[in-house]
Amino acid sequence: MARDYIKLKHGNPAYENYFVVNWCFFTICNFACTYCPTFLHDGKHRGLDINLVKNFCRKIIEMKPDKRVFFELTGGEITYYKHFSELMNFLKDNGADTGMISNGSRDLAFWEKHKHLIDHICLSFHPEQGDAEHFFQVVKLLNQETTVHVNIMMLPEKFDALYGLATRISSEIEGVSVAIQALFEGMSGKIFSYTDEQKNLLENPSLPMGTNILYRRATLAPKKVYRGEMKKVFSDGTEEVANPPELISKGENNWFGWKCSIGLENIVIDPGGNVLRGWCKVGGVIGNVSDENFRLPSNQVICSTKNCYCGLDIMAAKEVVVL
Ligand code: SF4
Ligand code: SF4
């Protein structure tokens, strides 16, 4: 039985130096994966006005003078925002760090032009429309300049080829972290139908990953990581590493009634520009990107939900309320 602990804190104190803005920017995508909910790629939200976006980003950077602000942009496929280059240059010119989740499908010339503006990129291979060789070349190119994490979306009928791609990336591109991802209908709900052998590989991947993550040649850019493992702190002061995916799979993702630092350590923004503390929605909408008088929260929130599912939400510090 799991021991009771009184705090969940960042596994690496360096993570505390960053304020994370996770922005689901719009719903334009060049792919239409069948397992992706339509509202994520229906094109209805086409991205806010660039000046509004810049004003808000500037405001957040000014409000957090003691932190480095990490803007993590998602969608849709964020590289199709019509002011993508302008926004990335603006963020870098204003001292922010930048990250994104992308399907990697833009051509090599596009990535060559933008790679110096990206501090961290999560590249997801979507097998229904993605081109494996192109994807491999994009990972290789970006890895020279920035921190790359790869997710391979494991469609059951293409499982072997996808596992081959994951193995190839992991063994041939130094310093990249690779994860194979089981698919869920509509990205939540029911897991796809996998054979026992496939399930076993998903739970215990034998990729050569990890062997090449820590050591990187000096010619490669150093790795930058903004959030990651957490640590449980027990009442006697002892600590234990806690991985967010593991906390979910073991059903240990319930901090109902605890004090939580979402809103203090991070915010999230939906495609309509609504700002929330976290994707769990605890604390409700705290403003909109267009609000002239937008203010960040100044205190923790008491958790009012029994399930904490989003990785970013889990990776905010939490502690038991002492009565
Ligand atoms: S690439 Fe991503 S956002 Fe686009 S359709 Fe596929 S899963 Fe959805
Ligand atoms: S559900 Fe929200 S408030 Fe509750 S612990 Fe998770 S992030 Fe914090």
The rounded distance, in Å, linking the Cα atoms of 61 and 68 is 8
**Distance (Å, whole) CA 203 – CA 245:** 12
Residue 76 near ligand 1, beta carbon < 6 Å: yes
Q: CB-based burial of residue 194 (10 Å sphere; 0-12 exposed, 13-18 middle, 19+ buried)?
A: middle
Q: Dihedrals φ, ψ of 185, to 5°?
A: -60, 125
Question: What angle separates helix 132-143 from helix 159-172, to the nearest 10 degrees?
Answer: 20
Q: Which residues line ligand 2 (CB under 6 A)?
A: 255, 260, 262, 278, 280, 282, 301, 303, 305, 308, 313, 316, 318
Note the pLDDT tens digit of each residue in 115-145.
999 999 999 999 999 999 999 999 999 999 9
- Residue 228 token pair: 């990651």
Model confidence pLDDT, tens digit, residues 43-58: 999 999 999 999 999 9
Q: In Å, how far are 10, 160, 256 from 319, measured between CA atoms?
A: 12, 43, 11
Reading the block at residue 188, the tokens are: 């939540």
pLDDT per residue over 214-251, tens digit each?
A: 445 667 777 888 998 899 999 999 999 998 878 887 88
| Residue 101, ligand 1, Cβ within 6 A | no
Q: Is 27 helix (H, G, I), strand (E, B) or coil?
A: coil
Q: Whose CA is nearest to atom 3 of ligand 2?
A: 303
- Which one of the ligands is nearest to 186 CA? 1
With 0-12 CB in 10 A as exposed, 13-18 as middle and 19+ as buried, what is 75?
buried
Residue 259 DSSP symbol: E
30 C-alpha to ligand 1 centroid (Å) = 8
106/122 Cα distance (integer angstroms): 14
- Mean pLDDT (whole number) for 86-111: 98
Are the C-beta atoms of 299 and 264 separated by less than 8 Å?
yes
The backbone region for 301, taken as left when phi is positive above 0, alpha when psi lies in -120 to 50, beta otherwise, is beta
List the one residue out of 18, 2, 100 whose CA is nearest residue 67: 18
Q: What does the domain layout of the chain look like in residue ranges?
A: 1-119+229-323, 124-223
This prediction has a pTM of 0.93
State residue 182's pLDDT score.
Answer: 87
Closest Cα to residue 202, out of 154, 130, 248, 246? 154
Omega before 278 within 30 of 0, i.e. cis? no
Rounded Cα distance between 207 and 167, Å, is 5
Task: Give pLDDT, residue 103.
Answer: 98
> What is the third-level CATH fold of 1-119+229-323?
TIM Barrel (3.20.20)
- Residue 304: per-residue pLDDT: 97
Distance CA 31, CA 76 (A): 9
DSSP H/E element including 60: helix 50-63
- Contact 40 CB / ligand 1 (< 6 Å): yes
Tell the residue nearest (CA) to atom 4 of ligand 2.
303
Task: Say which residues have a Cβ less than 8 Å from residue 307's Cβ, sequence separation at least 6.
Answer: 253, 254
Q: Quote the CA–CA distance of 162 and 150 in Å, as a whole number.
A: 12
What percentage of the chain reaches a pLDDT higher than 90?
78
CA of 129 to the centre of ligand 1 (A): 10
Q: How far is the CA of 280 from the centre of ligand 2 (A)?
A: 6
Nearest-ligand number for the alpha carbon of 8: 2
The lowest-confidence range among 245-249, 252-256, 306-310 is: 245-249
User: Which residues face 19 on adjacent strands?
Assistant: 69
Q: Are 260 and 300 in contact (CB under 8 A)?
A: yes
Pocket test for ligand 1, best of 26, 29, 128 (most atoms within 8 A of CB): 29
Q: How many CA atoms lie within 13 A of 94 on its CB side?
A: 22
Ligand number nearest to the C-alpha of 31:
1
From residue 198, give the alpha-carbon distance in Å to each of 72, 156, 169, 179, 210: 32, 8, 19, 14, 21
Residue nearest to atom 2 of ligand 1 (CA): 76
Cα(260) to ligand 2 centroid in Å equals 6
For residue 107, count other CB atoms closer than 10 A to its CB.
Answer: 11
Across the range 88-93, mean pLDDT stands at 98
Among 8, 9, 308, 312, name the best residue to mutate to test ligand 2's pocket (greatest count of ligand atoms within 8 A of Cβ). 308
